[in-house]
């Protein structure tokens, strides 16, 4: 496994290795898999793979089958590209045997998924190298990732070298080799200011995407990076929205200008025709009512939203007044917190675990706040206004799943009334 920061060259190196194996073993078959097919198509098929062919194998011809999505070389070898999120495609891909299987961004793939893929690492192929005797091509399983936290199966398998399920140490740990590679090692192949932009990330993201280190696992965390990354929409393809909500979480301060206080959380979320929730935009701003009211109502118009919801615990009717001053007759709904932040966040975290919430793009500041929620409360710095606004918005989209359960009243025992009473 190669692990490390973003744009460190991990994918390029492993794709290059697979092409080399395909070229020296005629009629061999290899697979490059990610959790989502759209991701492997965007990042590998249309980006890294053609770059590898141009740079490392100029003049080598191949045909790209865009129906079943595999590249075939003149020696009959094939490289298949697939995602584990599509049952029909997965069954087709995993119905074949391979000499090499590469799990790209394995931090997004469940342990059961990698186990299922590993069962297909069984094709017998012969490598033919000029000047050498023909010999069997050894089976290989490749992995790479931007390191998640230490509770992930990839850390247990390759760093601790023990079975992620049984926790028993491997009898042959040398078979689970890992190597760290970071953006600094690939500096000559990235933009001049790329490393500087990574250095400006939050401490959580910097450790993962610049330093390439596994983070400590929080057993009480409600949200995980893996759940967010696994379902992130990176190709911009969305279903139609049946309902769109602009959610406002106002600052607890009474400062009219709000210049030195908490930001006003403003996010836009939508419910797709596929039944999933989508985080569409984060418009959070630190400003006075006139400004944030306009920003919220502009988002309402821009997304053709159905309603603006706002927390009334801090500000009461002020939020309604601000919204409807900025845009008269804007549909508005006030929501009130009767439970703590962590309790309100728990049903939303369940939606993330189920893949029912998907972020359309990257929202670094909001995601920093989200992963700081735990069963014992919010553990981050300041107030999580962005995440609070998101939770309010998703609660509005999934009312049946997020409303608090009411305790059923126990029936009173039947007591027959006396006829003399």
Taking the C-alpha atoms of residue 232 and residue 350, their distance in angstroms, rounded to an integer, is 16
Nearest-angstrom CA–CA distance, 300 and 60? 52
pLDDT tens-digit map of 265-277: 999 999 999 999 9
DSSP string, 201-215: S-HHHHHHHTS--PB
Nearest alpha carbon to residue 402 among 417, 389, 392: 392
Domain boundary (160, 186, 212) is at: 186
Q: Examine residue 197 and state whether it is found in any structural domain, yes or no.
A: no
Tell me if 372 is assigned to some domain.
Answer: yes
Provide long-range contacts, Cβ within 8 A and 24+ apart, for 174-177.
176/1, 177/1
Which token pair is 18? Answer: 């697979």
Residue given tokens 């990610």 in the structure block: 34
Segment 6-17, tens digit of pLDDT? 999 999 999 999
Look up residue 353 and give its two tokens.
């675990």
Q: Is residue 409 domain-resident? A: no
**Tokens 């290795």 — which residue?**
17
- For residue 344, the tally of other CB atoms under 10 A from its CB is 18
Q: Is the pLDDT of residue 339 over 80?
A: no
pLDDT-derived band at 259 (thresholds 50, 70, 90) equals low
What CATH number is associated with residue 310? 3.30.420.240
Looking at the fold, whether 272 and 370 belong to one and the same domain comes out as: yes
pLDDT over 90 at 257, yes or no: no
Which CATH number is 102's domain given? 3.40.50.300
Q: Quick one: pLDDT band at residue 411, thresholds 50, 70, 90?
A: low
Q: Cα separation of 338 and 75, whole Å?
A: 67
Per-residue pLDDT averaged across 356-378, rounded? 92
Query: What's the pLDDT tens digit per position in 71-102?
Result: 999 999 999 999 988 777 788 888 999 999 99
- For residue 217, is it within any domain? no
Domain extent at residue 287: 226-402
Residues 6+ apart with CB under 8 A from 95: none
Residues 72 and 162 in one domain: yes
Dihedral over alpha carbons 47, 50, 54, 60 (to 10 degrees): 170
pLDDT tens column, 139-166: 999 999 999 989 899 999 999 999 999 9
Q: Are 253 and 306 members of one domain?
A: yes
Cα 369 to chain centroid distance, Å, stands at 15
Total structural domains within the chain: 2
Q: List, as one string, the DSSP characters of 236-247.
A: ---PPEEEEEEE
396 contact partners, CB below 8 Å, separation of at least 6: 245, 247, 269, 307, 309, 333, 335
- Between CA 62 and CA 71 the distance in angstroms is 6
Residue 94, pLDDT score:
84
Q: Give residue-wise pLDDT tens across range 189-235.
A: 989 899 999 998 888 889 999 999 998 888 888 998 889 988 999 88
Last residue of a domain, one of 186, 202, 234: 186
């Amino acid at each position: 496994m190669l692990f490390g920061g973003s744009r460190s060259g991990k994918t390029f190196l492993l794709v290059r290795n697979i092409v080399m194996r395909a070229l020296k073993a005629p009629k061999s078959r290899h697979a490059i898999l990610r959790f989502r097919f759209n991701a492997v198509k965007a990042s590998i098929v249309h980006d890294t793979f053609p770059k590898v062919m141009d740079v490392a194998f100029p003049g080598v011809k191949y045909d790209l089958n865009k129906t079943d999505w595999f590249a075939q070389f003149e020696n009959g070898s094939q490289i298949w590209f697939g995602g584990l999120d599509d049952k029909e495609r997965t069954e087709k891909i995993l119905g074949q045997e391979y000499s090499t299987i590469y799990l790209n961004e394995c931090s997004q793939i469940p342990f059961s998924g990698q186990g299922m893929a590993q069962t297909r690492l069984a094709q017998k192929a012969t490598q033919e190298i000029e000047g050498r005797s023909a010999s069997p091509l050894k089976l290989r399983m490749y992995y790479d990732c931007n390191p998640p936290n230490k509770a992930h199966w990839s850390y247990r398998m390759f760093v601790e070298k023990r079975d992620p399920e049984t926790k028993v140490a491997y009898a042959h740990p040398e078979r689970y080799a890992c190597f760290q590679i970071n953006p600094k090692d690939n500096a000559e192949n990235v933009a001049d200011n790329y490393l500087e932009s990574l250095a400006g990330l939050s401490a959580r993201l910097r450790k993962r995407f610049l330093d390439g280190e596994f983070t400590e696992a929080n057993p009480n965390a409600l949200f995980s990076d893996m759940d967010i990354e696994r379902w992130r929409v990176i190709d911009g393809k969305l279903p139609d929205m049946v309902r769109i909500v602009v959610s406002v979480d106002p600052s607890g301060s009474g400062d009219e200008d709000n210049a030195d206080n908490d930001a006003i959380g403003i996010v836009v979320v939508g419910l797709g025709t596929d039944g999933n929730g989508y985080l569409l935009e984060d418009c959070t701003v630190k400003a006075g009512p006139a400004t944030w009211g306009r920003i919220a109502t502009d988002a309402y118009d821009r997304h053709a939203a159905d309603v603006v919801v706002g927390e009334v615990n801090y500000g009461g009717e002020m939020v309604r007044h601000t919204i409807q001053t900025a845009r008269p007759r804007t549909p508005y709904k006030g929501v009130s917190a009767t439970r703590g932040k962590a309790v309100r966040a728990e049903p939303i975290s369940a939606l993330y675990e189920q893949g029912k919430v998907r972020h359309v793009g990257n929202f670094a500041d909001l995601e920093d706040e989200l992963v700081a929620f735990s069963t014992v409360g919010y553990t981050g710095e300041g107030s999580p206004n962005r995440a609070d606004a998101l939770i309010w918005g998703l609660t509005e989209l999934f009312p049946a799943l997020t409303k608090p359960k009411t305790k059923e009243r126990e029936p009173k025992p039947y007591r027959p009334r006396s006829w003399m009473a």
